[in-house]
């Protein structure tokens, strides 16, 4: 029985897997941040100047978020190319 | 084959070669050497032992060669993965640098426009007259807020 167990263990030892694993890289934290909410006007009465300022801030927020989205696409495309080259 | 990972390469090669040589010598002795009394007396067992040793030696040699081939392949893959990881890190830095620069430009341009509003637009006579005489209707503010929040407009009745 003891020899049978030893033989089985030896046989099973032939099933060792190749010890190389790779995983797709994690995205940079800065690209994982969510885009900010757009600003609203809190007061009932507001001057046209403040109104335009809020609109400008929102446009800026949009362009920042758009840049982040483009950076995401750029990051993914390049990382996928590198990943595919390893196969 | 996991056992092969635990033993030093030189020891495995040495062990296999010893078995192979012993097998070959014993086989040759068992079949062709007749002048040694011990071999001549135990001819059959020596032949069997020789063939067994030779077979086991050849089997181990094959297994070891395959193992070495796999190790070489693993080394190649590891080198390839290390290069890919380095390239991936460089790409990360490149993408983030580009993004940070672009975001700074966007932010600065937005800030420039707000500064321009504070500095120039507020002094514009037409704007001053507009601010004094034309308050922005609540419905415009409500519509703007609804658009900013992407929510339906709550109409006041």
How high is the pLDDT of residue A11? Answer: 52
Average pLDDT score over chain B: 89
For the stretch B63-106, pLDDT in tens is: 989 988 998 999 999 999 999 999 999 999 999 999 999 999 99
For the stretch A34-69, pLDDT in tens is: 999 999 999 888 899 999 999 999 999 999 999 999
Residues of B in contact with A74 (CB under 8 A): 95, 98
ipTM over 0.90: no
> Which percentage of chain B shows pLDDT scores above 70?
96
Identify the CA nearest to B33 among candidates B21, B22, B43, B44.
Answer: B43
The count of other CB atoms within 10 Å of the CB of residue A2 is: 6
Average pLDDT score over chain A: 85
How high is the pLDDT of residue A16? Answer: 52
Res. A13: pLDDT tops 60: no
Environment class of residue A22 by beta-carbon count within 10 Å: exposed (0-12), middle (13-18) or buried (19+)?
Answer: middle
For residue B39, the number of C-alpha atoms closer than 13 Å in the C-beta half-sphere is 15
pTM: predicted TM-score of the whole model, two decimal places: 0.71
Q: Rounded to 5 degrees, what are φ and ψ at B151?
A: -125, 160
Q: How far apart are CA A46 and CA A51, in angstroms?
A: 7
For the stretch B124-146, pLDDT in tens is: 999 999 988 888 999 999 999 99
Res. B44: pLDDT tops 90: no
How high is the pLDDT of residue B155? Answer: 74
Q: How far apart are CA B87 and CA A78, in angstroms?
A: 10
Identify the CA nearest to A18 among candidates B120, B29, B76.
Answer: B76
Q: CB of B66 within 8 Å of any CB in chain A?
A: no
Res. B4: pLDDT tops 70: no
Res. B156: pLDDT tops 70: no
How high is the pLDDT of residue A12? Answer: 57
For B7, left (φ over 0), alpha (ψ -120 to 50), or beta? beta
Q: Mean pLDDT over residues B45-63, rounded?
A: 91
Q: How far apart are CA B142 and CA B157, in angstroms?
A: 13
Q: How far apart are CA B60 and CA A14, in angstroms?
A: 13
DSSP character for B123?
A: G
DSSP character for A38?
A: P
Q: Give me the residue spans of the domains in chain B.
A: 2-106
Environment class of residue A23 by beta-carbon count within 10 Å: exposed (0-12), middle (13-18) or buried (19+)?
Answer: exposed
Q: How far apart are CA A62 and CA A30, in angstroms?
A: 16
A20-59 residues touching B, CB cutoff 8 A: 20, 22, 25, 28, 30-31, 37-41, 43-49, 51-59
Chain A, chain B: beta-carbon pairs less than 8 Å apart: 121
Give the residue from B99, B129, B132, B133 with the most A CB atoms within 10 Å of its CB, the best one to mutate.
B99
């Amino acid at each position: 029985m003891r020899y049978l167990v030893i033989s089985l263990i030896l046989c099973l030892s032939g099933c060792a897997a190749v010890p190389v694993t790779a995983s797709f890289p994690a995205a940079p934290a800065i690209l994982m941040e969510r885009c900010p909410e757009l600003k609203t006007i809190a007061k009932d009465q507001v001057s046209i100047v403040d109104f335009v300022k809020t609109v400008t801030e929102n446009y800026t927020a949009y362009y920042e978020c758009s840049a982040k989205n483009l950076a995401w696409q750029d990051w993914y495309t390049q990382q996928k190319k590198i990943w595919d080259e390893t196969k | 084959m996991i056992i092969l990972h635990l033993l030093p390469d030189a020891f495995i090669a040495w062990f296999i070669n010893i078995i192979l040589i012993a097998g070959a010598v014993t086989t040759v002795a068992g079949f062709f050497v007749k002048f040694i009394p011990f071999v001549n007396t135990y001819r059959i067992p020596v032949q069997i032992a020789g063939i067994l040793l030779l077979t086991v030696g050849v089997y181990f040699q094959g297994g070891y060669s395959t193992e070495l081939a796999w190790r070489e392949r693993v080394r190649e893959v590891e080198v390839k993965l290390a290069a890919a990881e380095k390239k991936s890190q460089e790409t990360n830095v490149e993408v983030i640098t580009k993004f940070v620069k672009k975001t700074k430009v966007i932010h600065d341009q937005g800030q420039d426009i707000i500064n321009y509003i504070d500095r120039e637009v507020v002094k514009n006579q037409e704007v001053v007259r507009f601010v004094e005489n034309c308050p922005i209707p609540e419905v415009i503010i409500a519509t703007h807020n609804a658009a900013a929040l992407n929510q339906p407009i709550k109409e006041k009745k």
